[in-house]
Amino acid sequence: MGNQKKFPGISEELQKILDADMDNVDARRRAREAFKDIQLSIDHILFKVPHAGLKMEESYDVNSGGLEIFSKSWLPETRPKAVVYFCHGYGDTCTFLVEGIARKLASFGYGVVAMDYPGFGLSEGLHGYIPSFDKLVDDVIEHYSKVKEKLELHDLPSFLFGESMGGAIALKVHQNHPTAWNGAVLVAPMCKIADNMVPPWLVTQILIGVAKFLPTQKLVPTQDLGELAVRDAKKKELTAYNIISYKHKPRIRTALELLNATQEIERLLEKVSLPLLILHGKNDMVTDPSVSKALYERASSSDKKLILYEDAYHALLEGEPDEMILRVFGDIISWLNEHTIS
């Protein structure tokens, strides 16, 4: 089944929609449509940003693989300073809390474009399944290249913005097209999965063998990501409202693809050449902050900045106390301003 959380005060019909099996995109789309007003009314600092006047647009486009991809854009009232292309994390969607992040960036004058990867959020594909990380990166490049072509703001500076797994995707997008972007903001990037999150060597070897026959099975042992990623107790409770996020054990092929991707990225840090802002919580137990430090030290870019936040966990923009979230946003906006305003 999908979401098992029981929300007080909602109808049996709505609860039934939320409890449906989310493996199929139709169930995810029904759940999001039925629940979105409740999601956006929760008591979270990200949804206290004034957004009257923002131009917001949702769309579905069929990609070259025949899958329908969901994307959304947020544009300020005046001409944006730049366009930020958002890459969400593992299991996530560019709806819900990413909505708040995008509104915040747009309130400071930045256009934001985000997409759900195949198999995630409102895009078609088996929920939470990544048969090939390189193919996923190609899907992101294909979609954002199309957006750049048709967006009336194509002549503006463009920045990649990656959270967690999205940070790894952003780095791979850059490596495939080194000169296509004006910079990247990486929030707790998945350059290496924390050791406590990786199965023991023997288990990994067994999973490699099983993946050949049962790639989509949800069998990989892991800890509760929501519990590990979020520091603020109240915000930890609010993670349940992300009703179309993937919350099950990772599928075997997905887990192996993520592990292989991080190992490859770790070997290629020297090839990162674009302007970089890297942000990481020192107490992150999901992705390893020491590798963000290695990225900063080894990247060939002459324009790079690393900020490590004392006591902070993985979800810097969603799961920290309000004052930390505002501090991180302040650092992001300052960096973007420095790289867009001459």
Which residues form the domain of 18?
10-195+223-243+255-337
Q: How many domains is the chain partitioned into structurally?
A: 1
| pLDDT confidence of residue 316 | 97
Q: What is the mean pLDDT of residues 150-166?
A: 89
Give pLDDT, residue 266. 86
- Alpha-carbon span 59 to 51, nearest angstrom: 19
Domain of 126: which CATH number? Answer: 3.40.50.1820
Q: Which of 44, 127, 143, 314 is catalytic?
A: 314
* Mean pLDDT computed over 213-221: 74
Tokens standing for residue 207: 């999973």
Q: Is residue 4 part of a domain?
A: no
From 71, 73, 164, 245, active-site residue: 164
Q: What is the pTM of this model?
A: 0.94
Q: What digits encode the pLDDT tens for the residues 25-68?
A: 999 999 999 999 999 999 999 999 878 889 999 999 999 999 99
pLDDT at residue number 197: 58
pLDDT at 1: 42
Q: For 326, phi and psi rounded to 5 degrees?
A: -65, -35
Residue 294 burial class via C-beta count within 10 angstroms: exposed 0-12, middle 13-18, buried 19 and up: middle
Looking at the domain assignment, is residue 157 inside a domain?
yes
Any catalytic annotation for residue 284?
Answer: yes
Quick check: is 211 in a domain? no
The pLDDT, as a whole number, for residue 7 is 85
List, for residues 236-270, the tens digit of each pLDDT value: 999 999 999 999 988 988 988 988 898 899 888 99
Q: Is residue 227 part of a domain?
A: yes
| Beta-bridge partner residues of 187 | 163, 279
Is residue 154 a part of any domain in this protein?
yes
Within a domain: 216: no
**Which residues neighbour 318 within 8 Å (Cβ) at sequence distance 6 or greater?**
44, 46, 97, 101, 230, 235, 325
Of 45, 322, 313, 334, whose CA–CA distance to 188 is shortest? 313
- Which one from 284, 288, 292, 339 is the annotated catalytic residue? 284
Residue 216, CA distances (Å) to 1, 19, 156, 222, 260 in order: 16, 21, 41, 16, 17
| 194: DSSP letter | -
Q: Quick check: is 164 catalytic? A: yes
pLDDT (average), residues 297-306: 96
In a domain, 314, yes or no: yes
In a domain, 212, yes or no: no
